[in-house]
Amino acid sequence: LTRTTIKDVSDAAGVSIKTVSRVLNKEKYVSEDTRLRVEAAVARLNYHPSLAARTLAGRRSFQIGLIHDNPNPYYIYNMQAGVGARCREAGFRMIVQPCDIHSPALIDDIGSLIDQAQLDGIILTPPVADAAPALEELERRRIPFVRVQPGTDLTATSSSFIDNVQAADDMTAYLIGLGHRRIGLVMGHANYVASGQRLTGYRQALQRAGIGFDPVLVQAGQFDLQSGSAAAEALLALDRPPTAIFASSDEMAAGVLATAHRLGIAVPGMLSVAGFDDTDLAQVVWPPLTTIRQPIRALGYAAADLLLAFDERIERRRLDHELIVRASTAPPGGG
């Protein structure tokens, strides 16, 4: 029970080891005829190169890391699906690593991962994408990295993002267009820059419509069901409760719905509820919910694509499957 090696393939194809390696790595200067013979031998022997040997001998490990500190299963699942899909296309492997952005061991954890696995690149999802110590460490090591939806220090780093300010503005304007004047906002987790961006968009739309900003209509939240539920309770208990509630995530929107139902408030008859469809949850929980689609999976795909583009040998893919996603090496124009 011994392993099939490149030697077996070269023997079978009647060429040298190095030539097989050339074919495997899609290098130039291999005659069409030779290439076909080698590929046939590879298929016939069902040969799969040892990643360990490639990593040790070569300059690349064909592995990238996905670092997150995010307790939202939907987000993680979809992000992994997106990054994983692009990796598979390019023959790379994705190494998923949870972390704690507040731990003093953060940069050690990331550093040892890079050292041990010889990662070719790193993807940072929020809120790690804004963890300055981690970013500094990656810069110092000169390892390619891409940040997903970063909120700070946008200069000179690659990132894939969605324009949260614009999206929140759009949604708020939509609610205003329905005739609402008192619109509650359930904010996201304070760790996430997206939370602030969504607040900015909300205020922006109110101002444009000449509606005064009322702080009592803004409730804190943590992006999860429970906090959405609690926030709705507070909002609906006000002397002058809102006629519409805009939640900064779909999980919180679901929480708002749960509270509304418990209080006997009909949705959307007596109360309009809107949210960001970060996780595809909203559509399932309550189809008539008004949502802004946030394609997490596409964000992940775009991030991986951007990262793999550092390696010019990887074929570049067109990113047109989700128009809302923009992959860029520069900060967004609109803010």
The closest of 135, 51, 54 to 101, measured between CA atoms, is 135
Nearest-approach distance from CB 272 to a second copy, in angstroms: 17
Site string for DNA, 94-123 (x = CB under 7 A): ------------------------------
Angle (nearest 5°) at CA 142 between 137 and 144: 100
Angle (nearest 5°) at CA 270 between 265 and 275: 90
Q: Would you give the DSSP letter of residue 213?
A: P
Could you tell me if 313 and 92 are in contact, meaning their C-beta atoms sit under 8 angstroms apart? Answer: no
| Complex with DNA: residue 7 or 44, whichever CB lies closer | 7
What part of residues 4-43 is at the interface with DNA (CB under 7 A)? 5-7, 15-19, 21-22, 24-25, 28-31, 33-34
| Complex with DNA: residue 18 or 140, whichever CB lies closer | 18
What part of residues 41-80 is at the interface with DNA (CB under 7 A)? 49-50, 53-54, 56-60
61, interface contact from a second copy, DNA, none, CB < 5-8 Å by kind:
a second copy
102 burial type by CB count under 10 A (0-12 exposed, 13-18 middle, 19+ buried): exposed
Structure tokens given for 200:
């900015």
Q: Is there binding between residue 118 and a second copy (CB under 8 A)? A: yes
Strand partners, 93: 63
Q: Is there binding between residue 36 and a second copy (CB under 8 A)? A: no
1, interface contact from a second copy, DNA, none, CB < 5-8 Å by kind:
a second copy
Could you tell me if 289 and 274 are in contact, meaning their C-beta atoms sit under 8 angstroms apart? Answer: yes
Q: How far is CA 245 from CA 199, 214, 232, 253, 283, in A?
A: 13, 13, 8, 8, 17
Strand partners, 184: 245
Residues in the interface with DNA (CB under 7 A) total 29
Give the interface with DNA as residue ranges (CB under 7 A): 2-3, 5-7, 15-19, 21-22, 24-25, 28-31, 33-34, 49-50, 53-54, 56-60
Give the interface with a second copy as residue ranges (CB under 8 A): 1, 3-4, 46, 48-53, 55-56, 61, 73-74, 76-78, 80-81, 84, 93-96, 98, 111-112, 115-118, 142, 224-226, 254, 258, 261, 279, 284-286
